Homo-oligomer: A and B are copies of this chain.
Amino acid sequence: MKENVTRKLIRSHLISGNMEPDEEIAIKIDQTLTQDATGTLVMLELEAMGLDRAQTEASAQYVDHNIIQSDSKNPDDHLFLQSATRRFGMYYSQAGNGVSHPVHMQRIAVPGKTLLGSDSHTCANGCMGMLAIGAGGIDVAMAIAGEPIYLKMPKVWGIELKGSLPDWVSAKDVILEMLRRYDVKGGTGYILEYFGEGLESLDAMDRHVIANMGAELGATTSVFPSDDEVKRFLATQHREDDWVELKADSGAEYDRHDTIELDKIEPLIAKPSSPGNVVPVREVADDPIYQSYIGSSANPGYRDFAVAAEIVKGSKTASGVSFDINPASRQILTDLINEGHLTSLIASGGRIHQAGCNGCIGMGQAPATGRNSLRTTPRNFPGRSGTKEDSVFLCSPETAAASALRGKITDPRTLDQPYPEIKEPATPTVDVQLLEEPLPIEEARKVELYKSKNITEIPDMDEMPDHMELPILLRMNDNISTDEILAGGSRVLPFRSNIAEISKFTFENVDEEYYDRARATLNAGGHAVAAGHNYGQGSSREHAALAPRFLGLRAVIAKSFARIHWQNLINFGILPLTLKDPDALDFINRDDAIHLENIREAIQSGDTLTAQIKSSGESISLLHGLSGRQIDIMLKGGLINWIKSRKGTE
């Protein structure tokens, strides 16, 4: 068989399983990436496992989310992360160094390798010819400890790129075109592999943009070949030696095919409040805007800032517009200064923020209530900006900059200026001052973990009971994101190392009384929630499973699940149950209850569970879809219990 890049990557890392769609496979992990919002739990998990040293080729901990530091919680947690990375022999990227994905790409990513990251946009490094997958923190902890990652063998979706992009259209519009075609769950169960002559006009950072927002399609990851462009990129980082070629065999096969004619793409924009809500910019042109936001892992490249700078150069942003510039990394910030672009941005009215995730994860720059915010970020789920009644649009830097000038949503093609030609600096900056290398093992062993009072133990969890009567506390629609299950942002994430505290925010935007109502079920065997399709899309944060579990959530009934959150539910002993007949959701009402009998035997003997609805007495069929290993984890009450029990028998 003529193999595609994806299958080559999987085959070269396959530990167990058959590479047949939907079969569980185990893959060796070469590199890991953790960020600070998810990393503190990972480090506690590594400590609980008794890890001596990371078993990967490279593991990097980034501090890019919680960098506002309103009180001692964030800086204390940073010190904890620093001590843990020193202890376990990992890289440590200090606050201010930049967003994990572009920094990893610049400094650590290696073609042909696998990368597992506790951040849903880990897939961005698929641009480097890597198999880069987002996962829950505890899966990444297992990988750091040398365990493989288990997943269902995805299908491979080959997307052929033809031609080249017209003026005023850039990589962001390519992935928005995919979202326009297939919406937020269109990629579920697939790895997207891009190929074709259209790649020639997309540089490595353009590919990063496209790979990054594969997460918004629900794809397992996105993969690009490692070609001469990747070699060129590594050379700019003084890492040419890390390059290996990795290309699909000529005539390679894919499970599904698609074609994008780059020449035919026009400027696109995702309207509030879903990345899949994509229309041409011209359809919403002239709506007044409050904010134009440049930055994030979805547009992190030098050119993304430079093109905005060239567009506004010599002009002024419209009166009152907040033109927020968020450098993706120190390296890129330095290049933007050296090439004069930062001055252009400031002179036009730009407001320069520190390098990091910032407003993309609700850390500052929240827009005013109901006012339109145009952002180059990857997500616009309701409230993710920090503002409850927000109105966030996702677009390219070209569209954001043009709109900042006019004060209203603007198709950049309507600007009266030539399309700026952006050239990379001749010698891009390489700056590792805030990136600590792993300590030698003897030094590492002397390091003690630093724990402030904000760092608490992970709560104990009981085994799966044999029968449960669970009140349905919430009945939700399609596409509920982890931002709605447990928000990010500067109000919530500082408690990421304290489950009792962070659990107070669970589902607060769905139902303000959930916390109290959930706690009331704790001594009565817990509760369930019900939802539509694509439940748990978005962030990989395992708190969105651990916190409701702490409050008594034992089962989620849904039409379908997003991949990472599904895995997180299993890892924390919450049954993810798919409705055999999706329409049966109509029979499940809030404040009704379901009854499950002989659960332990039932999940071991087949895929189907039968639940009885208390009010009507009717039965509904539910599928668990767990592998043998996952059944074992679920019966034990979650992965931590499973690891402990395995240790006990070693």
Q: List the interface of chain A (C-beta within 8 A of B).
A: 68-72, 74-76, 78-79, 82, 94-96, 290, 316-317, 319-320, 322, 330, 333-334, 337-338, 342-343, 346-355, 359, 362-369, 371, 386-390, 431, 433-434, 436, 452, 489-491
Contact = CB atoms under 8 A, between A and B. Distances in A.
A240 to B, nearest CB: 23
A361 to B, nearest CB: 11
25 contacts: A68-B70, A69-B359, A69-B364, A69-B365, A69-B366, A70-B366, A70-B489, A71-B387, A71-B489, A72-B367, A72-B386, A72-B388, A72-B389, A75-B369, A78-B368, A96-B350, A317-B433, A333-B346, A337-B337, A337-B342, A338-B343, A352-B354, A352-B355, A353-B353, A353-B354
A61 to B, nearest CB: 14
Contacts of A362: 70
Contacts of A337: 337, 342-343, 346
Most buried by B among A76, A351, A436: A351
Nearest to A342: B337
Contacts of A78: 368
Contacts of A434: 349, 351
Contacts of A353: 353-354
Contact of A334 (B68, B343, B390): B343
Contacts of A75: 290, 322, 366-369, 371, 387
Most buried by B among A72, A74, A290, A350: A72
The 7 closest A-B pairs by CB, nearest first: A96-B351, A75-B368, A72-B387, A70-B490, A69-B366, A72-B369, A71-B386
B369 A70 contact: no
Contacts of A95: 322, 351
Given A68-B68, A70-B366, A72-B367, 19 more contacts: A69-B359, A70-B362, A71-B491, A72-B366, A72-B386, A75-B322, A75-B368, A76-B368, A82-B320, A95-B322, A95-B351, A334-B346, A334-B347, A337-B337, A337-B343, A348-B433, A349-B433, A349-B434, A354-B354
A452 B366 CA distance: 15
A368 B491 contact: no
A17 to B, nearest CB: 43
Contacts of A388: 71-72
A346 B330 contact: yes
Most buried by B among A319, A366, A390, A431: A366
Nearest to A389: B72
A548 to B, nearest CB: 22
Nearest to A353: B354
A489 B386 CA distance: 18
Most buried by B among A78, A316, A352, A436: A352
A348 B371 CA distance: 39
A343 B491 CA distance: 33
Given A82-B320, A346-B333, A347-B433, A490 B352 contact: no
A348 B432 CA distance: 10
A319 B436 contact: yes
Nearest to A453: B369
Contacts of A355: 351-352
Nearest to A454: B369
A362 B95 CA distance: 18
Contact of A364 (B68, B346, B351, B431): B68
B347 A69 contact: no
